Structure 1
Amino acid sequence: VIAGPGTGKTRTLVERIIWLINEKSVLPRTILAVTFSNRAAREMTGRIEAVLSREGVQERPEITTFHKLGLKIIIENHNKFELKKEPLVLSENDMAYLFPRIAKQTKDSGNIPDFSCLEKRIIDFIEKNGDGIAIPGDIYKQIGDTFGRYAAYKRKHGLIDFIDLLILPLSLLANNQEILAQYRQRWQHIFVDEYQDVNALQYRLLRLLAPTGKDLFAIGDANQAIYGFRGADVGYFTRFKDDYPAAHMVTLTRSYRSTDTILKASGYM
């Protein structure tokens, strides 16, 4: 669904989920909806919760962010990563403190790379290496000695960061067909809000979970992409039809923000 500002992206997505549950008898637990911010996830959850509660439906869809989805998969498979069941997730402030100290111990110490470029460098690495997903530690090693030592430090101390929240699940699902099949069976209907902001990691995760796109619902607007600094590629949105040739494309054209009063006033400016 191509939806410009004010055309009702969230409402359209929510109504589609409710329609599946009410009209197609889809079990809520088989629905996964992902977005990019906690605020958006809360808003979506609130709207769906209100309708389902009013109708007496007990089950709920899985509504979350990409990073929380990744954490869920990691926790459910923590033994595969040799992590505790509740791993400690480093914040960006933790990373900013830790990274320079590790860098000083490496051959890169005279020219410490900026950790803020880490996600972009990993995304670039994965894009250049096609669909082959390497073991996360190997990815870090191949993009620099400092990054490799940083990965080793995290592994030694049972830590993960926000980039691992995408890399670890991606590596797991790409290399374990049995586990991948379980998640495909669990989430048979996948919704993606603000699809124009997906990056290579998120895109590949979606391709694994919904390879045919048969039950994938994506909504967004190429003109509203805001996460380019973190590797988001609006190209995934514009070539959606190439990835999923059978996709049915819909464009929302009516903006509920542009009332006659606003349009008339803007004409005098």
Structure 2
Amino acid sequence: MGDAAADRVLAGLDQEQAAAVLAPPGPVRVTAGAGTGKTRTLTHRIAYQHVTGAVPAHVVLAVTHSTRAAGELRDRLGRLGAGTVQARTFHAAALRQLRYFWRATGLPGDGPVMLDADGKGAYYRYLRGALGATLRTPARDVDAAMVTDLATELTWAAARDLTADEYLAQATPAGRRPGMALATVAAAMRRYETAKRAAGVLDFADLLTSCARLLEEDEQVATAVREQYRSFVVDEYQDTDPAQQRLLDAWLGTRDDVTVVGDARQAVYAFKGADTALLQGFTARFPHAVTVHLVRDYRSTSQVVDAANRLMTGRPEAAGRRWSGCWARAPPCRSCGARTRTTRTRGSSRPSAAGWPQACRPRRSRSCTGSTPRP
């Protein structure tokens, strides 16, 4: 598409962001603290590879952990001219592939029947029945708190990709303390899985394992998916769990064109089974991976950045890195990359976007938290 398009994508990136964007196709790990422009870096890397012809947008699968984040990726990529990228959550991508290749699963029907498609009512009825059968008591007499505890343990075990027997072996070392005996949880898990199979339904957690298993066991399906998607991007990689990693590995096969972005200090899904060791150990799996640290904070004042640096002093995850505050400098326009001279309103050190081109000035929306959008 020409050098001009590539230059537009690179415009306004800082030194570290540009290093991540310019890294060649292959394994790349970007560690990015809050406010350092990780989503900007990720989307500009995809767009730069697209406009230079290195990796066409339609062969990229970008995955994240929430529908809102996926929507933000699609919106930004569309504005950068890479709107054909598939940006989805792990579960949405798995469901789409299961529907497309459903006949290959050998299961009845025209597609997956989701147990909790219309809310959690059916899901909790199945759990209540599994507990009742385990405890040999009528399901209606099962305490609601026990059902909630079982649901929590099922979520954790599914994220860790554990069978009932594996859960029983690993729950105590992992510090799991549900409001019932671990053996009761494991037995209820078995009955729950049996009931689902008998009814021919899947729950939300089944999407990941079912899709991964299909790719692992059916070479034709795996070949078709890997021909469609040749490059992968994972946002908020610190919140990835082993079940999601298994699916990512199945997508990749023997290839290594994967870019991950995250920060181990911002993990929020550990209670669900997410494992920050996947981010920290990325270079052990891919020794030739490029690693880039984004350390320029465009969101916080210098006082906040200084306090954070003092707080993190001596912690192993902060070794060799300090955040630098950039709030006093106006951020680049996300659309055209133009920078402005720093201007301040009375009583505030925050720069304004008054000098941006008129067409690029930000508009307030429900997702806007101020006059200057985040990078």
Give the TM-score normalised by the residue count of structure 2.
0.60
Structure number with higher relative contact order (C-alpha < 8 Å, ≥ 6 residues apart): 1
2:226 aligned with 1:184: yes
2:153 aligned with 1:117: yes
Structure 1 unaligned residues grouped into runs of 5+: 130-142
2:297 and 2:305 in contact (8 A); partners too: no
2:274 alignment partner in structure 1:
232
1:83 and 1:158 in contact (8 A); partners too: yes
Segment drifting more, 174-183 vs 218-227: 174-183
Q: How far off its partner does 1:23 sit? A: 1.1
Which one of 54, 71, 89 corresponds to residue 114 of structure 2?
A: 89
Q: How does 1:85-234 map to 2 (within 5 A)?
A: 85-91=110-116, 93-94=120-121, 95-104=123-132, 106-109=133-136, 114-122=150-158, 123=160, 125=162, 144-212=186-254, 214-234=256-276
Q: How far off its partner does 1:114 sit? A: 1.1
Q: In structure 1, the residue corresponding to 2:271 is in which secondary structure? A: helix
**1:113-150 deviations in whole A, cap 9, x for unaligned?**
71221132242626x97xxxxxxxxxxxxx84432332
Cα distance, 1:153–1:124 mapped onto 2, change above 3 Å = closer
1:64 alignment partner in structure 2:
88
Which one of 9, 14, 18 corresponds to residue 47 of structure 2?
A: 18
How many residues of Structure 1 are paired with residues of Structure 2 in the alignment? 247
- Structure 1 counterpart of 2:42, one-letter code: L
Structure 2 unaligned residues grouped into runs of 5+: 1-29, 167-184, 311-375
- Structure 2 counterpart of 1:192, one-letter code: V
1:41 alignment partner in structure 2:
70
Q: How far off its partner does 1:102 sit? A: 3.3
Cα distance, 1:163–1:11 mapped onto 2, change above 3 Å = same
- Structure 2 counterpart of 1:47, one-letter code: R
Q: How far off its partner does 1:227 sit? A: 0.6
Q: In structure 2, the residue corresponding to 1:32 is in which secondary structure? A: strand
Q: In structure 2, the residue corresponding to 1:89 is in which secondary structure? A: coil
Cα distance, 1:9–1:15 mapped onto 2, change above 3 Å = same
Cα distance, 1:9–1:265 mapped onto 2, change above 3 Å = closer
Q: How far off its partner does 1:176 sit? A: 1.8
Alpha-carbon distance between aligned partners in 1 of 2:251 and 2:112, rounded to the nearest angstrom: 24
Q: In structure 1, the residue corresponding to 2:62 is in which secondary structure? A: strand
Alpha-carbon distance between aligned partners in 2 of 1:263 and 1:225, rounded to the nearest angstrom: 19
Q: How far off its partner does 1:207 sit? A: 1.6
Q: How far off its partner does 1:250 sit? A: 0.6
Alpha-carbon distance between aligned partners in 2 of 1:75 and 1:5, rounded to the nearest angstrom: 36
1:66 and 1:166 in contact (8 A); partners too: yes
Give the TM-score normalised by the residue count of structure 1.
0.82
Identity between Structure 1 and Structure 2 (%): 32
Alpha-carbon distance between aligned partners in 2 of 1:117 and 1:264, rounded to the nearest angstrom: 40
Alpha-carbon distance between aligned partners in 1 of 2:157 and 2:48, rounded to the nearest angstrom: 41
2:32 alignment partner in structure 1:
3
Which one of 30, 41, 50 corresponds to residue 59 of structure 2?
A: 30
Q: How far off its partner does 1:153 sit? A: 2.6
Segment drifting more, 187-196 vs 250-259: 250-259
2:335 alignment partner in structure 1:
none
Cα distance, 1:70–1:24 mapped onto 2, change above 3 Å = same
